[in-house]
Chain A
Amino acid sequence: MRVMIVEDDPISRHLLETFLGELGYEIISTCDGLEAWEVMQGSEAPSLVISDWMMPAMDGVELCERIRRMDKPDYTYFILLTAKGDKKDVIKGLESGADDFIIKPFDRGELKFRVKIGERIINLEHRITQLANTDFLTGALNRRAFMARMEEEISRSIRKHKEFSLILTDIDHFKKVNDTHGHQVGDLVLQKFSTELSENMRPYDFVGRYGGEEFIACLPDTNMEQAGLTAERMRLNVESIQCSFQDNTSLPVQITASFGVASFKPTSDESLDSIIKRADDALYMAKSEGRNRVCAYHNVSSITKNPPESSNEQAG
């Protein structure tokens, strides 16, 4: 966990750095609220802040109020450090949004456990966020979380002048898998399919479960041609997925999938819905041209030529 110390007194700061450093936290040390506020706006923003109350430039209460007004996806646990013991001050601090108080001079043991409380809450928050954003069955992002990430990606793309691509994919004849083998097998197929997609992606790409057997991947800094190649690699690897069963009585299930690719140009002011619509059009084309293929949107023509579906008909 990353912890920020905000303290103008060098001795108290040194003690905090020493005590918290020993607990294995990653420490950012600042001398007043203004410096801390700059850190909060950067990419290295901490999960937990321990701040002195009275400081030059910006005091701890104002820092806390500002953090609470931030539109930040993760919670920041805020501990106010103060020599004041006055009840009125405690209430003023809590009103500003502080989670806890430590009275100076602080006791090493008390400091440790109060920070641990904060860590516990931050960890719970991470877990809840993760659960709320993840598709339970496949571990991919759920649709809502994917869409939220996409909005960020669009802003990033415009800011950095880099295009990105989407791959929308759907397992061919998935209903047949469920009808023939049951939903448990269907679930297993979905898991393997999702894993296969992820294995063909880079660490900064992300994939979401868009619908029942429909998944969507976003590839930042990637043009249509590169995305087409990735989709084609996915398509080939999906073909070789083997879903065999514990009892070994039935033949392994094999599946294919169709892929639609669309790219976003940072110079356009296209909406997210419109980009996805184009990927969907390309996917529709891949389906209507016989499935188990990749179609890119620009001309909605097939990038790959594969045997017609009739000769490739399998359980999936």
Chain B
Amino acid sequence: MDTFDLSKALEIVDGDKDLFQEIAKMLLENLPHDLERIRDAITNNDAHMLERAAHSLKGAIGNFSAKLSFEAANRLEKLGKENKMAEAQEAFKELENEIAALEVELNRVLMEI
């Protein structure tokens, strides 16, 4: 439920399953690129870039009731904002794990609905 809550996610699109499928596919397509941007920001030690990249990923995930991924992205955004780059690597690993779990869930749900 904390990885992904389908019933809440459907609430956001007002029960429109087709629309949900559209945006879920968009998310799955964009996730690798979004993660890439965050990884680059951390590699380059660019706190501002990290804040931006994590914020936009958070915004995208925000439409899906994916609590754990959302929180992980939010944590990275904060680290960027507060320029705590030392902790970013660890937080990024967490994010990657949550996103991987979310991808599995989303792919499963897309097959079912």
Query: Quick check: A14 and B23 within 8 Å, CB to CB?
Result: yes
Interface size on B, residues (CB 8 A): 19
**Total number of A-B contacts with CB less than 8 angstroms?**
49
Query: Quick check: A104 and B59 within 8 Å, CB to CB?
Result: yes
Give which listed residue, A9, A107, A108, A109, contacts B59 with CB less than 8 A. A9
Query: Quick check: A15 and B13 within 8 Å, CB to CB?
Result: yes
Query: Quick check: A11 and B60 within 8 Å, CB to CB?
Result: yes
Binary contact track A150-174/B, C-beta < 8 Å → 1, others 0 = 0000000000000000000000000
Q: CB within 8 Å of B: which residues of A? A: 8-12, 14-15, 18, 52, 54, 56, 83, 104-105, 107-109
Q: Which chain A residues border B13 with CB–CB below 8 Å? A: 15, 108
Q: Which chain A residues border B30 with CB–CB below 8 Å? A: 10-11
Query: Quick check: A14 and B22 within 8 Å, CB to CB?
Result: yes
- A10 to B27 CA separation, bound complex (whole angstroms): 9
Give which listed residue, B14, B23, B55, B65, contacts A11 with CB less than 8 A. B23
- A148 to B103 CA separation, bound complex (whole angstroms): 60
Query: Quick check: A105 and B26 within 8 Å, CB to CB?
Result: no
Q: Which chain B residues border A9 with CB–CB below 8 Å? A: 56, 59-60
Interface of B is mostly: helix
Q: With A9-B59, A14-B22 given, is the CB distance from A107 to B27 under 8 Å?
A: no
Give which listed residue, A8, A11, A54, A108, contacts B27 with CB less than 8 A. A11
Q: Which of B11, B26, B59, B65 has the most CB of A within 10 A?
A: B59
- A9 to B14 CA separation, bound complex (whole angstroms): 20
Query: Quick check: B52 and A14 within 8 Å, CB to CB?
Result: no
- A56 to B56 CA separation, bound complex (whole angstroms): 10
Query: Quick check: B55 and A12 within 8 Å, CB to CB?
Result: no
Query: Quick check: A11 and B26 within 8 Å, CB to CB?
Result: yes
Q: Closest CB of chain A to B96's CB: distance in Å? A: 20
- A14 to B56 CA separation, bound complex (whole angstroms): 15
Q: Which chain A residues border B14 with CB–CB below 8 Å? A: 108-109
- A14 to B12 CA separation, bound complex (whole angstroms): 13
Q: Closest CB of chain B to A14's CB: distance in Å? A: 6
Query: Quick check: B58 and A15 within 8 Å, CB to CB?
Result: no
Q: Which chain A residues border B65 with CB–CB below 8 Å? A: 105
